[in-house]
């Protein structure tokens, strides 16, 4: 058994959906379970339209028409059997009517809760998976639409609901195994779930990967395949690094580390069910289905590769709190983090030299003003007493991260990294290495980030 998750781009138009049908057909002997997202852009459109409905905007009707046309066009083009097509189109039209009623309710009440947003967002995956199931049937593949609100049980934390794993796994098995036994392909809606009381919830944006992992783990599949639009996980971003190439294999840890540092592979939380069940996740390209992709599993299989990838995140600010009075004083860092937490600023990297005279944090640039304001007021008295000299900012900066499980206990990686960056004529502003030793991150001026990535990529011969 293989769980195959198709994202929004992979199910986003007629051509792509044709490819999906071929992919599923090719792998029928492996008993695929399909988990799919809404058509690309649909979730955003659904949510934006809800916000327009609260304002009683005249744009609601045109948006609904757009949504209807986009789906009906696919049904027209891809379901050849007349009866099946009519049935699908009627069902989709009824769903659009239901959605229209919801928008109407929102605009009458002039109220839009997260709970309503979840109910509205769920239409994207339902519309999409209904058509995928029909398209598969039209290709003579036995398939059945599965509304995951029946099988993924969650709490009522709308917008980012927590999954009740024992109940969900049990339901997934009871509902899907009989279908698989008959060689029927279940087409499961990603992203959505249901509470005990039958309310619709969502698992957080981009949550279909999570559904894929939950379903794959519950069924103890051989592998979970995440179909996307790239050939796999790369050694660096090919848009600006020469010689970047696909990695055949990385570990769960490496994948998580890379995701923290800007590589859009798979959200770390998403992998948890797969990791616990020890099921490998494979990243595959719908545009190039015969490519093996990248397999993510427990083993790092480093071979001779110590370093696996170099990633970078742009649009960051570095804030440094400095002062001779800070040395040896307990509680300064606690105050820095408490202040940032008060204004809901996420800290991406922390660095403090053992002299304790300077502590710096790296945060998203968009949060810089509020973070600075809060820190300055937190340390106002210490600044007046000269315990702290100042709160300094540097903008815009990037974090460049060197990731690889093989770095653990291996000497010289940091030295080689810093030398390569220095030889490229780039100044390193700050450095951090977690004690896991799976990554070394450095802060550089944003203008130099790509050059730094290239220099490190070259020095470790990743190309």
Q: Looking at 12, 32, 190, 194, which residue binds ligand ASP (CB under 6 A)?
A: 190
> Is 206 near ligand ASP (CB under 6 A)?
yes
63-92 residues near ligand ASP, rule: CB under 6 A: none
Nearer to ligand ASP, 45 or 350 (CB): 45
Q: Looking at 8, 32, 216, 232, which residue binds Mg ion (CB under 5 A)?
A: 8
117-156 residues near ligand ASP, rule: CB under 6 A: 124
Contact partner at residue 317 from ligand ASP, Mg ion, none, CB < 5 to 8 Å by partner kind = none
Q: At what angle do helices 114-138 and 60-78 cross, to 10 degrees?
A: 20
CA neighbor of 145 nearest in space, from 162, 127, 164: 127
> By the 8 A CB rule, do 429 and 393 touch?
no
Closest distance of CB 9 from ligand ASP, Å:
9
Q: Which stretch binds ligand ASP (CB under 6 A): 58-66, 166-174, 204-212, 334-342?
A: 204-212
Closest distance of CB 189 from ligand ASP, Å:
10
Nearer to ligand ASP, 211 or 417 (CB): 211
Nearer to ligand ASP, 204 or 262 (CB): 204
For the chain, state the CA radius of gyration.
25
| Total chain residues near ligand ASP (CB under 6 A) | 12
Closest distance of CB 210 from ligand ASP, Å:
8
355-393 as b/e: b if 16+ CB within 10 A: eeebbbbbbebebbeebbebbeebbeebbeeebbbebeb
What single-letter DSSP state applies at residue 11?
Answer: T
Closest distance of CB 125 from ligand ASP, Å:
6
| C-alpha distance from residue 371 to each of 322, 340, 359 (Å) | 16, 6, 15
How far apart CA 191 and CA 206 sit, in angstroms, is 7
Q: What string marks each residue from 336 to 375 as x (binds ligand ASP by CB under 6 A) or -?
A: ----------------------------------------
33-92 residues near Mg ion, rule: CB under 5 A: 37
12-41 residues near Mg ion, rule: CB under 5 A: 37
Q: Which residues contact 231 (CB under 8 A, 6 or more apart)?
A: 246, 285, 288, 291, 293
Nearer to ligand ASP, 122 or 446 (CB): 122
Contact partner at residue 38 from ligand ASP, Mg ion, none, CB < 5 to 8 Å by partner kind = ligand ASP
CB nearest ligand ASP: which residue?
208
Closest distance of CB 132 from Mg ion, Å:
15
Nearer to ligand ASP, 205 or 365 (CB): 205
| 48 CA to centre of own chain | 20
Closest distance of CB 127 from ligand ASP, Å:
11
The dihedrals phi and psi of 309, each to the nearest 5 degrees, come to: -140, 160
Contact partner at residue 128 from ligand ASP, Mg ion, none, CB < 5 to 8 Å by partner kind = none
CA neighbor of 17 nearest in space, from 225, 223, 227, 181: 227
> Is 193 near Mg ion (CB under 5 A)?
no
> By the 8 A CB rule, do 147 and 126 touch?
yes
Nearer to ligand ASP, 7 or 186 (CB): 7
Closest distance of CB 6 from ligand ASP, Å:
10
- Please report the sign of the dihedral spanned by the C-alpha atoms of residue 226, residue 228, residue 230, residue 235: negative
| C-alpha distance from residue 327 to each of 105, 170, 376, 380 (Å) | 59, 55, 19, 18
Name the strand (E) or helix (H) holding 320. Answer: strand 309-322
CA neighbor of 16 nearest in space, from 289, 210, 212, 223: 289
Q: Looking at 3, 4, 6, 8, which residue binds ligand ASP (CB under 6 A)?
A: 8
Residue with tokens 């949550």: 207
How far apart CA 57 and CA 47 sit, in angstroms, is 14
Q: Looking at 70, 115, 171, 205, which residue binds ligand ASP (CB under 6 A)?
A: 205
> Is 207 near ligand ASP (CB under 6 A)?
yes
> Tokens for 156?
């009522």
Give the count of alpha carbons within 13 A of 383, CB side only: 12
Residue 32: strand pairing partners: 2
Closest distance of CB 39 from Mg ion, Å:
10
> Is 43 near ligand ASP (CB under 6 A)?
yes
Q: Which stretch binds ligand ASP (CB under 6 A): 138-146, 205-213, 270-278, 332-340?
A: 205-213
CA neighbor of 442 nearest in space, from 311, 345, 340: 311
Where do contacts with ligand ASP occur on this chain (CB under 6 A)? 7-8, 37-38, 43, 124, 190-191, 205-208
The site for Mg ion (CB under 5 A) is made up of: 8, 37
């Amino acid at each position: 058994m293989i769980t195959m998750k198709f994202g929004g781009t992979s199910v986003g138009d007629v051509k792509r959906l044709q490819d999906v049908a071929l992919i599923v057909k090719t792998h029928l002997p492996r008993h695929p379970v399909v988990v799919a997202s809404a058509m690309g852009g649909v979730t955003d459109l659904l949510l934006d339209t809800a916000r327009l409905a609260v304002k009683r905007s005249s744009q609601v009707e045109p948006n609904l028409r757009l949504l209807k046309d986009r789906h009906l066009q696919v049904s027209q083009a891809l379901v050849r059997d007349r009866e099946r097509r009519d049935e699908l189109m009627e069902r989709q039209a009824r769903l659009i009517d239901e959605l229209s009623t919801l928008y109407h309710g929102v605009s009458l009440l002039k109220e839009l809760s997260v709970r309503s947003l979840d109910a509205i967002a769920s239409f994207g995956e339902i519309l999409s998976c209904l058509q995928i199931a029909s398209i598969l049937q039209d290709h003579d593949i036995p398939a059945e639409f599965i509304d995951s609100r029946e099988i993924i049980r969650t709490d009522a934390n709308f917008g980012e609901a927590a999954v009740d794993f024992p109940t969900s796994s049990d339901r997934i098995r009871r509902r899907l195994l009989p279908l698989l036994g008959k060689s029927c392909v279940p087409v499961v809606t990603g992203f959505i779930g249901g509470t005990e009381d039958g309310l619709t919830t969502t698992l957080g944006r981009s949550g279909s990967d999570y559904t894929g992992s939950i379903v794959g783990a519950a069924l103890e599949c051989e592998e979970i395949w995440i179909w996307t639009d790239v050939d796999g996980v790369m050694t660096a971003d090919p848009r600006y690094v020469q010689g970047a190439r696909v990695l055949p294999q990385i570990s769960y840890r490496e994948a998580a580390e890379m995701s923290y540092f800007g590589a859009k592979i798979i959200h770390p939380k998403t992998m948890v069910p797969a990791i616990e069940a020890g099921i490998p996740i494979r990243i595959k390209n719908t545009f190039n289905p015969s490519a093996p992709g990248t397999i993510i599993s427990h083993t790092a299989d480093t071979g001779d590769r110590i370093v696996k990838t170099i990633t970078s995140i742009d649009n960051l600010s570095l804030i440094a709190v400095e002062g001779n009075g800070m040395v040896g004083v307990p509680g300064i860092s606690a105050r820095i983090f408490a202040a940032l937490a008060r204004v809901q600023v996420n800290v991406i990297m922390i660095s403090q030299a053992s002299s304790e005279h300077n502590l710096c944090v790296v945060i998203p640039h968009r949060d810089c003003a509020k973070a600075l304001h809060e820190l300055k007021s937190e340390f106002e008295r210490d600044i007046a007493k000269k315990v702290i000299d100042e709160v300094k900012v540097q903008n815009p900066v990037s974090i460049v991260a060197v990731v690889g499980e093989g770095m653990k206990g291996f000497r010289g990686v940091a030295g080689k990294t810093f030398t390569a960056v220095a030889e490229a004529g780039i100044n390193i502003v700050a450095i951090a290495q977690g004690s896991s030793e799976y990554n070394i991150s450095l802060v550089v001026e944003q203008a130099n980030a790509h050059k730094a990535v290239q220099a490190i990529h070259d020095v470790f011969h990743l190309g």
